[in-house]
Amino acid sequence: INALNKIPVIWMNYQDCAGNSESILRASKPTIDEIIINLISLEFHELLMAPSGTQAENQLEETIQNYEGEYLLFVEGSIPLADNGVYGTIGPSGETYKDHLLRLASKAKAIIAVGNCASFGGVVAANPNPTGATGVMGVDGINVPIINLPACPVNPETMIGVLIMYALTGELPELDSLKRPFFAYASRIHDRCERRVHFDAGEFVESFGDNASQSGYCLYKVGCKGPFTFNNCPTVKFNDTSWPVDAGHGCIGCSEPGFVDKFGSFEKP
């Protein structure tokens, strides 16, 4: 917590698509404006900050010095380890993502890995994974707590839940064996799904657009991976509106380790 009673945050984008940045920008309760004004001091986020180049680099280094041991390091995207990390470098020195991460991690309070890529390697690590992409916990030498918030993207309310808990209690959430907070990842999609009654009754969509589909029947036979996936989507939804199964598409297991290879084509169970 800094002098303004806000949490210093550095948000790094490594091998990513910025989908988790997009996610938090669309947070609805509280909104991103409220988060930045009241909750966090967003010291560095290359998509949102006005400076670029040397000014931005200086801002990052000043934050590391001023808030050593205090800042939360949000990491979005995977880390390429193949060929000594040459597939991802930052700045004129050519510092690899791996070395950059290790440098920032060594002075952070904790790392919040947002999205499947930062947690488990995600889409970037899919076979044949030419860059040797891995999640943060696959990088040796990190000695601060890591919290994984996997999904593609993670729900903004899951990120905000971690921030608000830390702001109110000074504590980080309790984690499972994959370093995921229990409050968001303790339940299977399948166990909270509104179509579960149809699964139990043996009422299935056989092909997209059929009558069963119109009736909101279970999507298991058209590839839903809800029985194998842990996340809070059915109860939290996205931005108070909907979630994949509610929209008529099965869960593709985007928050699981090994996504996307683990489940292969989402067209078949």
CA-to-CA distance for 186 and 62, rounded, in angstroms?
Answer: 38
- Distance of closest approach, residue 25 Cβ to ligand F3S, in angstroms: 17
Three-state SS for 177-221 is: CCCCEHHHHCCEHHHHCCCHHHHHCCCECCCCCCHHHHCCCECHH
The answer to whether residue 233 forms part of the interface with ligand F3S (CB under 6 A) is yes
Residue that is written with structure tokens 């939290």 in the block = 236
The answer to whether residue 245 forms part of the interface with ligand SF4 (CB under 6 A) is yes
- Out of 72, 79, 117, 189, the residue judged to bind ligand F3S by CB under 6 A: 189
CA 117 to chain centre: 7
The answer to whether residue 255 forms part of the interface with ligand F3S (CB under 6 A) is yes
CA-to-CA distance for 248 and 64, rounded, in angstroms?
Answer: 45
Amino acid code (one letter) for 199: F
Footprint (CB under 6 A) of ligand SF4, residues 86-125: none
The answer to whether residue 254 forms part of the interface with ligand SF4 (CB under 6 A) is no
- Out of 64, 151, 159, 212, the residue judged to bind ligand F3S by CB under 6 A: 151
CA-to-CA distance for 26 and 137, rounded, in angstroms?
Answer: 27
Report DSSP state, residue 109. Answer: S
Footprint (CB under 6 A) of ligand SF4, residues 165-204: 189-190, 193, 195-196, 199
Residue that is written with structure tokens 């194998």 in the block = 228
Contact 11, 21 (CB under 8 A): yes
**Element containing residue 38 per DSSP (H, E):** none
Q: Among residues 73 and 233, whose Cβ is nearest to ligand F3S?
A: 233
The answer to whether residue 149 forms part of the interface with ligand F3S (CB under 6 A) is no
Find the Cα–Cα–Cα–Cα dihedral 257, 259, 188, 247, rounded to 10°. 160
Region of 18-26, 105-113, 137-145, 244-252 interacting with ligand F3S (CB under 6 A): 244-252
Q: Among residues 100 and 190, whose Cβ is nearest to ligand SF4?
A: 190
- Out of 122, 229, 260, 263, the residue judged to bind ligand F3S by CB under 6 A: 229
The answer to whether residue 158 forms part of the interface with ligand F3S (CB under 6 A) is no
Question: Residue 244 binds which entry of ligand SF4, ligand F3S, none, with Cβ cut-offs from 5 to 8 Å by kind?
Answer: ligand F3S
The answer to whether residue 147 forms part of the interface with ligand SF4 (CB under 6 A) is no
